[in-house]
Amino acid sequence: MFLKKLSNLRHTLALRLTIWYAGIFAVSSILAFTLVYALIVSVVQGRTDEDLEEDIEEFTSFMQSGGLDRVKTEIAVETQGEEASQVFFRLWSTEGRELMRSDLSSWSGLAEPRDILAKVDDADEPVLQTQTLPQQEHSVRSVYGAIAPGVVLQIGESLEDDEEFIEDLLKGFVVALTAVILLGGPIGWFMARRALRGVQEITHAATEIADGALDRRVAVRSQSDELDTLAQTFNTMLDRIQALIIGMREMTDNLAHDLRSPLGRIRASAEVTLTSGGSKTESEAMAATTTEECDRLLEMINTTLDIAEAESGAAKLKRVDIDLTDLISDAVDLFQPIADDKQVAINTDLPEHCHIHGDRQRIQRVVANLLDNALKYVPTGGRVTTKLADEGMEVKLSIMDTGIGISAEECARIFERFYRCDRSRSEQGNGLGLSLALAFVRAHGGDIAVKSNPGQGSTFTAVLPRPQHA
């Protein structure tokens, strides 16, 4: 079991992030420690060189105030006691002749500085040099500087203190760097686990949802970071999926209900014909009834498929130039006999021409469904007004009626498939007309809005945009 968990751990994102964190942490720490170490070494060396140059300036002032005797006296004072093993002095003429020296018993192996003396004679600044002597464990830093015309002073000192300090500093850095690198792994693991906590919560939620818990949601924290955005998006997706599933269940129930009635009538008609031994006329009547009911079923199924195709974006629109004024006028003429039978007036408010680029057949069905819906629920003596407004980048088609109206609760659902208001169940229909109209309008990039009050009529407004390229 442990080996299996270890094997699974090798393929986790948390481990890969841990390795990246630890690697970046280690490289960054090494670069930081190297930079600090180099700066400290530079500061230490710079401080030593500044001290030596200040000594040259000091002896230059001694030379100017007391001559060579004062310089020799000061050299004797500087090399007394323990200082004799840490510092040495030599006076040279610019021709390379040694004028004076301190005790050099601890400094054997010093080279003759003839080339350097020539440089010092030509330069305004002192010349610094680092040497390694056979009997000295540590390097020697020396400075050559002219303290008078023709006289060069060489001052040298051991770098023992500096090198021991730098060595101790390096050991401390190595220990600290080792500890930091060792801590990089646990710190990286903690950061990776913390960063992936939100992803794990989403994974657990997705697993529970896959097992059937459709009401499960991911907790959204108040940090407003990327994980919160992911959780909110995930929850929104789940809400949408749940709404679709509920809608599918309702549609299936409604479809089953609407299919049951015509199928029941077909079966009853056939059963009556078979059991009664009716005449040819009765058989023909049964066949006509069966055909009519089958047509209703086919219309319902085809309409449902058309809605699904339009809503999924799979519908291929055959866009052509359409004059909506002519199209609406033809639709009004088509429904005029129905309006006359119900004694309903159809008024139009149309511009002379209104062109749009769209699918003629689908827009015809939109106009027909909206007009049919208006005429169904307008009582005798009522009125239906069709208005078309050209607003440049979009066209608005409004169909207003003085019918029974729709409550606010029902307005939110009238575009659902198979949904029918309580007061409309006595009317013939299957509850798909408005759903189909909305699907076709949205396939054109538009939308349909409704305003209604019970007893005061309704206004359906379809907005159709004009594509830029058209």
Tokens representing residue 409 in the block? 């609760």
Q: In angstroms, rounded to a whole number, what is the distance separating the alpha carbons of residues 237 and 228?
A: 14
pLDDT of 2 reads: 45
pLDDT of 7 reads: 55
DSSP element (H, E) containing 236: helix 226-276
| Number of residues in the chain | 470
Q: What is the mean pLDDT of each run of 10 residues along the chain (470 residues)?
A: 50 71 81 89 90 90 88 85 78 85 81 76 78 82 88 88 88 85 76 70 76 75 71 80 71 66 72 67 73 77 76 79 93 92 91 91 92 89 92 91 86 78 57 86 90 88 77
* Domains of the chain, each with CATH number or no CATH: 9-165 (3.30.450.20), 226-311 (1.10.287.130), 316-465 (3.30.565.10)
**pTM for the model:** 0.50
Parallel, antiparallel, or unpaired: how do β-strands 127-131 and 355-359 relate?
A: unpaired
- For residue 351, give the nearest of 401, 402, 391, 400 by alpha carbon: 391
Q: For the range 82-88, what are the long-range contacts, defined as Cβ-Cβ under 8 Å and sequence gap of 24 or more?
A: 85/158, 86/157, 86/158, 86/160, 87/155, 87/156, 87/157, 87/158, 88/155, 88/156, 88/157
Q: Whole-angstrom distance between the N-terminal and C-terminal Cα of the chain?
A: 66
pLDDT of 316 reads: 82
